[in-house]
Amino acid sequence: MNLVLVDSGGANIGSVRYALQRLGVESRLSADPAEIIAADRVILPGVGAAGPGMARLRELGLVETLRGLRQPLLGICLGMQLLFETSEEGEEACLGLLPGRVARLPAAPGIRVPHMGWNQLRSTRPSTLLEGIGDEAQAYFVHSYAAPVTSDCIATTDHGLPFAAVVARGNVSGAQFHPERSAAVGARLLQNFLTGGRA
């Protein structure tokens, strides 16, 4: 399989590559539009803020490349947030592959932001991306901003309010949690993306 990890500058790139190696899959790290377009599957990892994340994609000339992909694309953490139209974080225009606006999680008594640690996934509709992942499944999150629960949301998580934990529309999908740090649940989601990859 020709699998490309977009060189988005995220600190989680190495751990994503290692998680894929544990599944027996080698990936190439690339910022070359031609290599990304030629891939069978593409993963957009990311940690940090929307502004610098989009600035790096613009600097590398990858915004239109990612918008034009027809093969399965998976965004992870910040990479998932960048799939949406806009982010409240810096009032940033994002890739616009999914409708909606990413917003800051509201702090409340007993609710810490950033949301950090294990939390439960709740499926909202069937998807090949969630095959073998039950409603009691736990995944590992680290984030302060989250995407809304829309018709593209296939699993939610609650942290003060429900937010989109996994999204899928056509060839585009995303996980707000870190599959590379989510043990068997994360490994299964990555495997499902590698073998299916569409909503």
Domain boundaries, the chain: 3-195
Q: How far apart are CA 175 and CA 12, in angstroms?
A: 13
pLDDT at residue 193 greater than cutoff 90: yes
Nearest to 20 by CA among 192, 180, 197: 180
SS3 87: strand
Per residue in 70-82, pLDDT tens?
999 999 999 999 9
Residues annotated as part of the active site: 77, 178, 180
SS3 49: coil
pTM for the full predicted model: 0.96
pLDDT at residue 43 greater than cutoff 60: yes
One of 3.40.50.2300, 3.30.1050.10, 3.30.530.20, 3.40.50.880 is the CATH number of 3-195, namely 3.40.50.880
